[in-house]
Amino acid sequence: MAERSKNSTIAQVVSCLDGYDPDALRVDKAREAIRACLVPVGQTERVAIRESLGRVLAQDIVPQINVPGHDNSAMDGWAVRSSDLISSREISLKEIGKALAGKPFQTNVGPGECVRVMTGAVMPQGTDTVVIQESCRSEGNRVMVPPGQKTGQNVRAAGEDLKAGIAVLKAGRPVRAAELGLIASLGIGELSVKRRLRVAFFSTGDELASIGTALKQGEVYDSNRYTLHGMLSRLGVEIIDMGVVRDDPKLLEAAFRKAAASADAIVTTGGVSVGEADFVKQLMAQLGEVLFWKIAMRPGRPMAFGRIGSGENAAFLFGLPGNPVAVMVTFYQFVRDALLFLGGRTDSFEIPLLTAKSSQAIRKVPGRTEYQRGILFREGDEWQVRTTGQQGSGVLRSMSEANCFIVLEHERGKVEAGELVSVQLMDALA
C-alpha cells in the first residue's frame, strides 16, 4: 500500500502541467504526469549482503576502512627506495627479502636495499616504488635496476579504491553485481534496503482462456499475464498474479479491491479502449481516482492511470491496453520507470537512446511517437537497424524477434533509408 500523496488529488496534480491534454497526450507529458503523482514506498528492511542484489539501498554506504588498506605493489618485481634511483644510469641494489600478497616483509628497508615483491604485497617500510621484474637483472642477491624509473610507479595507494569516511554509495542506488563486490570489499555483511514493491496484475476480457483449457470459438489464450510476469519479475518487484478476470462487475470489483488492499501498484490489461463495451473503465472510475488517456503513441494509444482504493489501502493503477505488443510497449515506456521510482530508486534509470542508421525506409506521420520493433545488426564496422517487418500491435512475434525499439519521435515524419534513427536496446548488461 503506497502512501497517499497528502494534499492533492491526481486530477489537481496533472491539471497543473503545461500542455496536459488527456485526449492527445504526448508520451513525455504522460511520463511527467505519472511521475508527478507517484509517492515512493518508505519502508526498509535489513538483509544479508547476497539478498541485496537487485534491491534499492536504503542507506548510504560509508567505508569504515580504506580499500586497499595499505600501499601495495601493482606488479611482480622489486620494491625500491626512490631516493636510491639515479636517472642517468643503472644502479645495483641488495635484495634483503621477499613480500607476497598476504605475507608482508616486516623489517625496514635501508638505502641501497630492495625487496622482491609480488602483486598485492604490502609495500615494505622504506620503499615507495616498484620496478617490474622484466626490466631488471638479478645476480645472486644483487638486483640491477635500469635508469628511467618514476617515483611511486606500480604502487597502488591505500584508499585509492575506497576511502574511509567518504560515502561511496548513496541511498536510492540499486545493488548490482559491482555494488555487491564493493560492499563486500568493505567487510559489510548486512545492509538496509527498501522493501520490495508489491505489484498485483490481472488480465480482463471475456475472450481470454487460461492455459490448460481448450479454446472455444473466438477465444485466445491469455498471453499478457505471461509477458507481465516476465517484465515484472525482471524488475525485481514482488508479483501478485491474480489471473484472468471476466467482464463481470462483481468479479472486477472484488479483484480491484483485493489488489488495492494488498499491493502498491496494480497493472491490468484490456478494457480501456475507446468504446469498449465492458465494465473495466466504469469500475476503475468508481473505485478510485483514475484518468483515461489517449496517448499520442503507437502502439498503445489508450491507457488509464490513477489510484484505486483509499487511505492506507490505495494502490497506483496502470490500466494498459489489451493488445499484446501495446502491453509491452506501454509497460516499458511508462510502467517500468514508475515502478522503479515507486520502489525508491533515485539514480538515473532512463534507458538511453542510441543512434543507428536505418537500412530501410520507414513510414511514419508526425504527431505521435512510434515504437517500432527493430533488429540492430552489424554491417562491417557499422551498426544498422531494420524493422522486424509486420508491426501490428497484436503481432507479439515482432517483440520476440526484436532486440531494440526504433523510437520515432513525435514530430518526425517518414524515414528514408540511410537516415539516422534513435534506438533503445531491449537487453543490455544486467
| Binding site residues, ligand AMP, CB under 6 A | 203, 205, 207-208, 220, 222-224, 269-271, 273, 276, 321-324
12 grid coordinates = 489537481
Total residues binding Mg ion (CB under 5 A) = 4
Task: Choose the one of ligand AMP, Mg ion, none that binds residue 313, judging by a C-beta under 5 to 8 angstroms depending on kind.
Answer: none
* Secondary structure letter of residue 326 according to DSSP: H
What values do phi and psi take at 204, rounded to 5? -120, 150
| Minimum distance, C-beta of residue 251 to Mg ion, in the bound complex (Å) | 14
| Minimum distance, C-beta of residue 231 to ligand AMP, in the bound complex (Å) | 14
| Minimum distance, C-beta of residue 332 to ligand AMP, in the bound complex (Å) | 17
Q: Contact, 265 vs 338, CB < 8 A?
A: yes
| Minimum distance, C-beta of residue 270 to Mg ion, in the bound complex (Å) | 4
Give yes or no for residue 205 binding Mg ion (CB under 5 A). yes
Hey, is 169 helix, strand or coil? strand
For residue 336, which amino acid is it? R
Hey, is 232 helix, strand or coil? helix
Per-residue CA distances from 157 to 119, 131, 178 (Å)? 13, 16, 21
Q: Of 193-201, 315-323, 343-351, 420-428, which segment contacts Mg ion by CB under 5 A?
A: 315-323
Give yes or no for residue 300 binding Mg ion (CB under 5 A). no
Q: How far is residue 110 CA from its own chain's centroid?
A: 53
Give 78 or 279: the residue with its C-beta nearer to ligand AMP. 279
Per-residue CA distances from 106 to 102, 110, 130, 234 (Å)? 12, 13, 17, 51
Closest CA to 185 of 64, 71, 87: 64
Q: Of 120-128, 155-163, 317-325, 388-396, which segment contacts Mg ion by CB under 5 A?
A: 317-325
Give 93 or 297: the residue with its C-beta nearer to ligand AMP. 297
Of the candidate residues 126, 270, 302, 324, the single one contacting Mg ion (CB under 5 A): 270
For residue 58, which amino acid is it? A
Using CB atoms within 10 A of its CB, is residue 192 exposed (0-12), middle (13-18) or buried (19+)? middle
Task: Choose the one of Mg ion, ligand AMP, none that binds residue 207, judging by a C-beta under 5 to 8 angstroms depending on kind.
Answer: ligand AMP
Binding mask 369-408 for Mg ion (x = CB under 5 A): ----------------------------------------
Q: Contact, 297 vs 371, CB < 8 A?
A: yes
Give 387 or 393: the residue with its C-beta nearer to Mg ion. 393
Q: Which residues form the interface with Mg ion (CB under 5 A)? A: 205, 270-271, 322
